[in-house]
Amino acid sequence: AQTVTQSQPEMSVQEAETVTLSCTYDTSESDYYLFWYKQPPSRQMILVIRQEAYKQQNATENRFSVNFQKAAKSFSLKISDSQLGDAAMYFCASGTGANSKLTFGKGITLSVRP
Amino acid sequence: DTAVSQTPKYLVTQMGNDKSIKCEQNLGHDTMYWYKQDSKKFLKIMFSYNNKELIINETVPNRFSPKSPDKAHLNLHINSLELGDSAVYFCASSQDWGAYEQYFGPGTRLTVT
């Protein structure tokens, strides 16, 4: 069974600054993948970034990057140069090659101060 | 060009009624899913289909019955609606079975009164 924990319910960041959202996970699988999804007020779930567990290199997607610490089972999301449009709920999720379903954390609400 | 679409986006109905939510994806994906997001925003898998075959049924009540007429469509029918069924239901799809990223529809907000 997989579990995903996001312990911070809310965070706030000043526009143009950097913020890091935390996530820890637990899994007994060796073949697993990690994701961050963004859910703005429109409620659309948007894939932000993906990390394969077998890759040592941290994934990067424009202003978004992850810090993947496999031994610590930690998967944090860093947002650089925060923009007002980054304000949303962010979900960390894990999936495995075996069962294809995503297990989500409880999410964190990010607000961006102008 | 919407990749994953759902209809309706909003559904308000009374307890005891039967309702359906439709989902279509134009990505050519083989695998589709239904997720439920409760009032606390927690997302949980309900069903997944691969090539029209039911693979995952996460202990969802029998009142919920998914149907996949073809690989591009996955509908959700709910019988005898209860207050606790009020939630946002998301359809999603992925390229294939396995650890692929999933693309979500816009969600259907179901309110049972």
Q: Is CATH 2.60.40.10 correct for A3-113?
A: yes
In tens, the pLDDT along B8-40 reads 999 999 999 999 999 999 999 999 999 999 999
What is residue B100's predicted lDDT score, i.e. its pLDDT?
81
Bridge partners of B104?
Answer: B92
| CB of B27 less than 8 A from some CB of A | no
A44·B107 Cβ contact <8 A: yes
Pick the more confident residue, A38 or A2: A38
B28 to A46, B82, B93: CA distances (angstroms): 19, 34, 9
Q: How many CB atoms lie within 10 A of CB A58?
A: 15
Q: In angstroms, rounded to a whole number, what is the distance separating the alpha carbons of residues A45 and A47?
A: 7
What is residue B28's predicted lDDT score, i.e. its pLDDT?
94
pLDDT exceeds cutoff 90 at B58: no
Q: Which of A11-20, A22-31, B91-100 has the lowest mean pLDDT?
A: B91-100
| CB of B58 less than 8 A from some CB of A | yes
B104·A45 Cβ contact <8 A: yes
B104·A31 Cβ contact <8 A: no
